[in-house]
Structure formats: structure tokens, C-alpha cells
Amino acid sequence: MISRLQLKISFLRLISAMVITLSVTQAATAQDQSVARRWNEILLQSIRLDYARPTVHARNLCHISVAMWNGWATYDAQATPWIFNEHHTASDIEAARRETISFATYRMLLNRFATSPGFATMSPQYRSLMAQLGYDTTNTSIVGDSPAAIGNRIAQALITFGLADHSNQINSYANLYYQPINPSLVVGLLGNPTVVDVRRYQPLSLTYFVDQSGQVIPGGFPPFLSAEWGNVTPFAMTSADRTDYVRDNKTWPVYNDPGAPPTLGGVGDNLWRRGHEMVAVWSSHLDPSDGVTWDISPKSMGNITAPTDWNYESYYKYNEGGDAGTGYTVNPITGQPYAPNLVKRGDYARVLAEFWADGPTSETPPGHWFTILNYVRDHPLGNRRLGGVGPELDPLEYDVKAYLALGGAMHDTAISVWGTKGWYDTSRPISAIRWMCEKGQCSNPSAANFHTDGIHLIPNEIEVITAETTAPGQRHEHLEGYEGSIAIKAWRGPYEIWNPQTDVAGVGWILGKQWWPYQRPTFVTPPFAGYTSGHSSFSRSAAHVLELLTGSKYFPGGLGTFTATQNQYLVFEDGPSTNVTLQFASYYDAADQSALSRIWGGIHPPFDDIPSRVIGDKTGPAAFQFAKGLWGVSLCAGDINNDHSVDGMDLGILLGQWGNAGTADFDQSGIVDGVDLATILGAWGSCN
């Protein structure tokens, strides 16, 4: 099974490499594709062929976007480079910018991906693009004011900065002091017998052997990725955003601290239990043959405001899956109704889990949002007006400014989320669900298998195996011999897949102590704590950046789409059973679906989700405003069109956005209203 899966993944890697090769070649004739975009595509493919490290790649996306920005800004007296303090001029400024950006980016890629498993594939791509652009990669000079020398100095400054930003790049980003308190969980065996504290993070061992004494010896497992990432130097966040905690005489910085999560046996005990039980229930949705069909168009999905506290149970549809969003009566851009988009729920949930996954062959969530930015940028209905107002920028200026803002937001989000993960150090559903099921059930105190730490019973979802239910022809017949144990109706797991190109595991009754997330067997759960969710935070943060960048929270034309091809798209089992086209009206709708995908994927309970979105609500707007200051664009409150004056032009823009989200939503309430009008009136006149 594993060898066939590895073959399929390798094939997808090859296709990805071919795609990037073609895109680089074709880019030379694309008049609207800037040199920054071409390097960004190379960067994204480098990430896909590297290890799945969201923190590291958020930092790479930020710093390499900064390199591009610095290469542009050094030739603009009004703009401010970051981690670089030079301004220059040239006889042909645009040509100089292209060359400076290329040398800076090329050097950064060599530095950041030198030890990547994909470096042998990608380094020829780096040299090829430099050759296509007419630049000499052997020119390593940092002396003088030639564009090449300036670009090399920009890279040198950022490389030096990166070696001192507390990411520990020089030691492959290894943790310096974090150690898990739990022994690893051997996922191929039943239950979770060795866990010390199920509330805390537990590594996973994916391989094992039994020694001569019958002892199970775990194989290797990856360390907690970036447990100390809260120490890394941020882009826009400041000390005012930071809370320092101390454990074992070590400092654990947490930016945008969401507070402690619900915990078993403590505050939020019921939320902890029900959250993990909901993950188990949603696992029963991953079967395209269950007869459930959904309309996944914006007519029926999206357009919902997430809660900001622990009162979120009504937000999710606990039993049937998804959230309580009711969609849009009409397309908010065109005014026309959305056409229905009927698909099988089992296909939708599986595609969603795979589309947003951050495992092998992925550009990780931060990179995924760069692909969405590029999608929006390429859309025929898109434009290059910052905030949707003012003149159209040339492609290069727009791209470097957009990448700077999004890269900064992704980097600060990673620092916030992984600082939280390192400090709160919480478990994942596979540890909690298996452990509770091994304990028993907590619903019926008079039953023999009652345990206060057991799992709640839910008819037709989570049940006790009995002699009656294992009788011939009954629902637990195949579980005979496990009477008294817990059964969960769930995705049946990777051992039901012998050929991932043709097999579908489906849903059935399985032992609760053998429950699996909907993930490939070589990547069962990401190797870091659960609370908070990177997907939820990255996506929410990026949605804010895209709204602020474009001046609208909606995709161009009110519809963003992605099609998963029948029987080709899914990696570790066959599917989807038909073509599935994901549709999003707004960037926030896409972000919400990203968050839900992690519950269906068995990676996060809902209490990991909502506080994470709140983090994104902070990091996205803050990074955008910081980037805006570097652009040299007015930061005067109320100056929407950036002409350094708050006047009738700004008032007109505000009135045109009244009642909706937009660039005039100064207080980030989600709607332009009287508070925003008061901001303009209070700032009326020239900006200081």
C-alpha cells in the first residue's frame, strides 16, 4: 500500500515540477507577468518540494517578498525598504529594479533552500530564470551601485538578519529546549496506553517493531515543529502584542495570546470532550456512497460571521457537518443569483480536506494563499488599484507591494500561532479520541464500561459493542471479540486502501481505539500541537489582506473556483467520484472552508478553530498597515485614496461602500458605518 501511495505522490511531484517549468518558460512572453511574479512562482514550487514546514515557509515567503520589495523600493525616494537602508537611482529605473529584484531573490533562494530535498530539482530552475532574464549568476559582487551589486547586498542583509532572528536557521530551525512530556503514540497499534497527560502534545510514531522480549520499539518520529517560534522576530507585531510566559525556567513568548484552551478535567471540560467527539462524528461524512448531497454554491454556503468567544456551538452543524452559513440571495457583485452546485457530501468533505492540506507536495497554508492572491491577480475582472481606488499600478509595483503585505501577514501569523502552540502544548484528536475510547464511555454510570474519562455515546455514531450488535448480520458483526469496547462510525482508515488509484476506504464501524484522521498513512497528523489552528489563522489573516489590497472582500466577479477532477485529485484514496468545483463568494468564505476542512480531516477540534480566526483578524490588518507605511502610502486615518488629504473624495468612497465591507471600514468591524464616517470627519483636512 505504501509503495503505491509513494508512487502516486512522486508522480504528483513530477507533474508539479513540469508545471513550474512550463510556467517559467511561458512567463517570458506574458506581457502582464512581472519579474516578481515569476520569482514568486519559483518560490512556491521550491516550497512544494521541500519539507512541510508552515512556519519556515511563512518566514521564507515574508523575507523573499521583502527582498523583492527592497529591490523596488531602493529606487523610490518615498518608499522605505525593510532591513535595508539604501536608496539609489539609475538611468533606466525599471530595468534596474528587475535586475536588483532578480539578484536579491536568486541569492535568497539559494540560501533558504540549499538543504531542501528539492534543491537538485529547483536550483537549475533558479539559474534558468536568471539566464532567461539575461543576468550572470556568477556576479556575486556586493561593491558599487550596479543593480546586481545592490541586489546581492539586499540578500546579504536579509541573510544576516535571518541568522539572528531566533529562528535557528543555522541549525535547521531545531528547537533549543522544548521536550514533549508524552511518549510517542504508535499509530499502527490500538489505543493510547503510554500517554502521560492526554491534554498535552504527543508525538506520533509511524513505524515500529517488536523486540525479542515482546516490547514494542517505536520508530523515528519528527520533533515538534517550531515549538519555540514565538521567539522569532516579527514583521509588524510589537512588544505590545506579546505576552511572556515561563515554564521550566524558559521564556515562551506568545503574540496575540488567545488565552488557555478548554481542558479535560478543568475549565471547559465539556467543550474539550464535545469538540473531540464532533471530530469523530464528522469522520462519518467521508463516504461518497452515503446518499447525502449538498449544494456547495454560494447560494447555500458562506456569508456567516464567526463567533469570537467560546459560545460557538450553534455556529457548527454538529451532526450533519459544516457551519450555519446560509449563503447569498444573489451574487453581491453581479446582482444575479448563484447557480446550484450539487455534489456528494462525501466528495466535498474529502476534496476540502485535501485542497487545504499542508502535507507533502503542498505549498503549505501560507503559500496556498499566495496562489490565491495570484489567482485574483490574474483574473480578467481584477485590477491593480491598491485598495480598489486610485490609478492602476504597473504589474511589478503592484506585485511587490501585494507580496510584501501578504508575506508579512503570514509570517506574523506563524509567530503568533506557533508561539501559542509551544506554550499551551495541546494534544491532537488522534491522541484524545483513542484515549477516551480506550477508557470506555461516560454516558451511562451503571454500565460496566463506564469511566469518567470515557467518551460520550451518540446513537448511530459512537456506540458500545455488545453481543447483540456483533451477532451475524448486525452492524458490529466484524468487531466480534471486542464486546464492551467503543465503536465509532468513521472513515475506515488507510489499511482499507491497497491501491490508492482505485480504492476508497469508505465509512464503517471501527474500533474507537483505532480511529484515524483523514490523512495519508505517512502523514497522520502534523508534528506540532493542536491549539491554535494554523489553517484558521493563516486563512483569516490572508482574507483581510486580500480585502484591504483589492478594496473588496469578494473574489472578482463574486466567485472564486477550484475544480478537483474525478478519480484523479485525491492522493491517498481514489476520488472524488465526480468532478467537484469548490466555490467561494468572498475571501472569508474560503477562509471558513479552510478552517472546516481541518475538522473533517481529523486534525483539529472546533475549540482550536475559533480563537485562531481571532488571531488572523489581528495579524492581517496590522501587517497590511505596516506594509502600507513602507510603501510610502499615507497612513492618515480617513485618507482612503492616499492623496495625503481627507476630503470629499474620501467621503465619496465611504458613502459608496456604506453598509458593506471595504477600505473605508477603518475600525475593521466588517461594515462601513457611522463610526467610520466619524473617523473621516474627525480627520478632515490635510494629513500631517
Who's near 356: CB < 8 A, 6+ residues apart? 365, 368, 535, 539, 593, 594, 597, 598
The answer to whether residues 422 and 230 touch, using CB atoms and an 8 Å cutoff, is yes
- CA 84, 86, 92, 96 torsion: positive or negative? negative
Task: Tell me what pLDDT residue 523 has.
Answer: 80
The domain made up of 12-174 has a fold known as: Vanadium-containing Chloroperoxidase; domain 1 (1.20.144)
Q: How far is CA 687 from CA 110, 640, 651, in A?
A: 43, 12, 15
Task: Tell me what pLDDT residue 10 has.
Answer: 43
Q: Which residue has cell 541586489?
A: 151
Task: Tell me what pLDDT residue 638 has.
Answer: 84
267: phi then psi, degrees, rounded to nearest 5: -65, 125
Q: How far is CA 70 from CA 154, 466, 613, 631, in A?
A: 7, 68, 30, 10
Enter the C-alpha cell of residue 386: 491598491
* pLDDT lower than 50: segments of the chain: 1-30, 210-213
What are the pLDDT digits (tens) for 636-669?
Answer: 678 887 776 899 988 999 998 999 877 788 876 7
State the pTM of this model.
Answer: 0.90
Enter the C-alpha cell of residue 107: 541569492
Q: Which residue has cell 546581492?
A: 152
Position 442: which residue type? C
- ∠272-276-277 over CA atoms, to 5°? 115
The helices-and-strands tally (H runs, E runs) of the chain is 16, 15
Query: How far is Cα 509 from Cα 328, in angstroms, rounded to an integer?
Result: 37
| Residue whose C-alpha is closest to residue 374's, from 29, 32, 15 | 32
SS3 helix, strand, coil % of the chain, rounded to 5? 45, 10, 45
Q: DSSP for 491-557, please give it.
A: E--GGG-S-TTT----EEEEEGGG---SS-TT-SS-SS--SSPHHHHHHHHHHHHHHHHHT-SBPGG
The answer to whether residues 352 and 344 touch, using CB atoms and an 8 Å cutoff, is no
Task: Tell me what pLDDT residue 623 has.
Answer: 99
Domain parsing of the chain, residue ranges: 12-174, 645-686
Task: Tell me what pLDDT residue 534 has.
Answer: 98
Task: Tell me what pLDDT residue 247 has.
Answer: 98
Over the range 163-202, which residues count as b (16 or more CB within 10 Å of their CB) and which as e? eebebbbeeebebeebebebebbbbbbebbeebeebbbbb
Cα pseudo-dihedral 526, 531, 532, 533, rounded to 10: 40
Question: What is residue 316's DSSP assignment?
Answer: B
| Residue whose C-alpha is closest to residue 412's, from 608, 622, 164, 614 | 622
Residues in the chain: 688
